[in-house]
Structure 1
Amino acid sequence: MGLFYAYAKNINDDWSYRYLIVFASRSVADEWWRAVNGSGTAYATSVNRVTPQFYTHNPGTAIIANTVNDPKVASAFLNKVFFTLLNDRDGRILSIIPEQEYTDPASGNLFYIRSKVDPRDFWYTSDNYSISVSRERRTRFRITLRSDVNPKGTIMIASDDIYISIPGLNDTAVGIASDGSLTTAASGTATIFKFGDFNGSFKGQAGSLVIKTANGEAWELV
């Protein structure tokens, strides 16, 4: 995963305090936002996430660029994020950031789960409750934060505890069977995962079951 870019705009006018933000990765961008939004400081009310690549801020309340300098906000990201103050509007120069395709990992939403190694491979749940990898079929899963503190729509990060479920009248939780495979059957022994598990803790290939393992592959939400 490479660099990730975003703009930040002053909510009070269209010409000043405009920033280009460079994050070390998309994951860092989400983690920085969670730190800012949950800081309980003036930055939490000043900074607003409009889209993954567009933020607004109110410099009269708190300047977005200072989030990484304040130990009460996001100082852990000082060496993972940097801000460049852009020329004011009449300067006629604007750095154009690349549009980056990425599904917003918002809690409570429905996602297909696709292999990063081979995008033809998707998770699929069949009538026997097992979850396998298929190139012909795919199932949408609901990914939800375990914590009741964070509301629906909260951006999930690697350290979060999550539930994976099959949407329906009553969502069916995904668990782990005795052989380590994922299942929607009542025999599943665990339903709590880490959001970071999608980055190397699930294993499977076309035609095989999805297994929870320490030596898995990377999967992405689409």
Structure 2
Amino acid sequence: MALFHAYIANQSFDQATFGLLAVFASRAVADEWSRAMSASPHARFIERVAPQFYTHDATQCNLSGFFDVLDFKPIADVFRGRMQFIQLNDGLLGTTIMPQEVTDHNSGDW
């Protein structure tokens, strides 16, 4: 299994800041995280646009602190060691992840 990456863009007042790169142990882990977050009432500010692209509103919660936010503790504990978030220096516009061939299904393993 290969690592799976996804961009998480900030959709609040300033789209050029608080961008994240999510790194998952595999695309199955990314799918599991996406389903867990979509079922959480605390994650309404996160939207999955495509398998490798999410948006979030950093004014509601900055996901870079995901593993320290008490509301996410039940989910974060399951994914600790299986994923991480990396803050992007969005002003440089130079960070690019390699596209990965994925079938975009609404449920199941993409």
> Which TM-score bucket, shorter chain as reference?
0.7 to 0.9
1:11-64 deviations in Å (ceiling 9; x for gaps): 0122110111111000000001111111222xx211100000011001111222
* 1:96 paired residue number: 96
Q: Secondary structure at the match of 1:20?
A: strand
Instruction: Provide the TM-score with structure 2 as the length reference.
Output: 0.85
2: distance between equivalents of 1:11 and 1:21?
16
Instruction: Provide the TM-score with structure 1 as the length reference.
Output: 0.44
Q: Which has the higher strand share?
A: 1
- How big is the alpha-carbon RMSD for the aligned residues of Structure 1 and Structure 2? 1.8
Instruction: Give the superposition deviation at 1:93.
Output: 4.8
2: distance between equivalents of 1:82 and 1:52?
16
1:102-157 deviations in Å (ceiling 9; x for gaps): 11232xxxxxxxxxxxxxxxxxxxxxxxxxxxxxxxxxxxxxxxxxxxxxxxx225
1: distance between equivalents of 2:75 and 2:65?
9
Given candidates 68, 75, 85, the residue that maps to 1:83 is 85
Identity level (%) = 39
Structure 2: unaligned runs, 5 residues or longer? none
Cα contact 1:9–1:55 (8 A) shared by 2: yes
2: distance between equivalents of 1:94 and 1:78?
28
1:151-190 deviations in Å (ceiling 9; x for gaps): xxxx225xxxxxxxxxxxxxxxxxxxxxxxxxxxxxxxxx
What letter is aligned with 1:80? Answer: R
1: distance between equivalents of 2:58 and 2:51?
20
1:71 matches 2:78: no
Structure 1: unaligned runs, 5 residues or longer? 107-154, 158-220
The structure 1 segments of at least 4 consecutive aligned residues displaced by more than 6 Å after TM superposition are none
Q: Secondary structure at the match of 1:94?
A: coil
2: distance between equivalents of 1:6 and 1:72?
22
Instruction: Give the superposition deviation at 1:65.
Output: 2.8
Q: Which has the larger radius of gyration?
A: 1
* 1:11 paired residue number: 11
1:156 matches 2:108: yes
